[in-house]
Amino acid sequence: MFNKNLELTNQQLEKQEEFKALVDTEIVPAAEQVDHEECMPDAVLQKIIDKGYWGAAVPAKYGGADMDYITYGLWNEEVGRGCANLRNIIGVQGMVTSSILRWGSPEQKQYWLPKMSSGELMASFAITESQIGSDIKNLQTKAQQVGAEYVISGQKNWITFGQRANVFLVFALCEGQAVALLVERNTPGLTIRPISGMLGFRGSLLAELIFEDCRVPIDNLVGSVGFGLSLVANNGLTHGRYSTAWGAVGLAQACLNASLDYVMERKQFDHYLKEHQLIQQMIADMVTNTIAARHLCFRAGQLWDNNEVTATFATSLAKYFSSVHAFTAAKDAVQIHGANGCSNKYPVERYMRDAKIMEVVEGSTQIQQVLIAQDAFHFFQN
């Protein structure tokens, strides 16, 4: 919807219709269960795998779908419209595969990426700690090189897909220098504790990871010692911001769709809600900002596809605007629905809880503002 001015190719339009059909038939019907039961049914994940979309942005030579950035964005938007939890999980998978693709050795790419693309391995990005959110330079998790192994000790918290993933990209400090290490789920010394009862993203299978002298081969080091944060983590986080930005557009579109349906069926004071001017104002803002957010995401995708230096800046813009708008759209959708919007009779209360999390993950709203301002000093200074 509202994509006529996005200059999509015929192939991208075809993929968009394919994504929409999959989401409407397989994902939307499961979204309420995912949220209520704080789960992610294997059957839903298997549908994604069967379609070949688990490695959406991974090159074909590694078994991936080889989507360009725009197509990958459209995929994230449609999934975000249907289920924010699933979009979050897909985004995290992409954060890991994109990091290996950019900074992994040829041997690591050949070994890990085909397994991740096929769904044999499901990945998670483990950087956040209880006391460390955005301040990633002060990680408390430590890694020590002992012979041909790294020994990891510490804890990670609120790790998306941690309950289900069977390989983690873990960030730690080794003698003060950042490292990124691939840790398989069955590695001795790794304990996984499920997390439940969150405000939103309840079906994202969050977990706490506890490392107690957890040993991994030195070959599991992604990138070089000292570049775990500046290169590997930033690469993954940027990918996550791009995915989240498009997902937020999808969530905003879901809010708009639900609101349009409701105002055309609900009457107050002998008039349909759509006839009340203050309701029209909320709908107008929802429409305008959803279109604007989609265009910011599309522009970021264009820049990535063209390998432009400003792509990272455009991604921060898109993530900032889209996530803030998604929460505003969800809040207004709840307001439009009134008391119905405060119950699970309608999905807008879930939309609002999930939208709030989008302002926090992969760099909070405030972090995006800092990044945008810093880039502005560079790109726009006379």
Catalytic (active-site) positions: 362
Listed in sequence order, the residues at least 6 apart from 147 whose beta carbon sits closer than 8 Å to its beta carbon are: none
Q: How far apart are CA 347 and CA 330, in angstroms?
A: 10
217 CB neighbour count, 10 Å cutoff: 11
Beta strands at 123-126 and 149-159: parallel, antiparallel or unpaired: unpaired
Q: How far apart are CA 170 and CA 140, in angstroms?
A: 12
Listed in sequence order, the residues at least 6 apart from 204 whose beta carbon sits closer than 8 Å to its beta carbon are: 40, 85, 88, 89, 160, 161
32 CB neighbour count, 10 Å cutoff: 14
**CB–CB of 282/335 below 8 Å?**
yes
Q: Give me the sign of the Cα torsion angle 133, 135, 138, 142.
A: positive
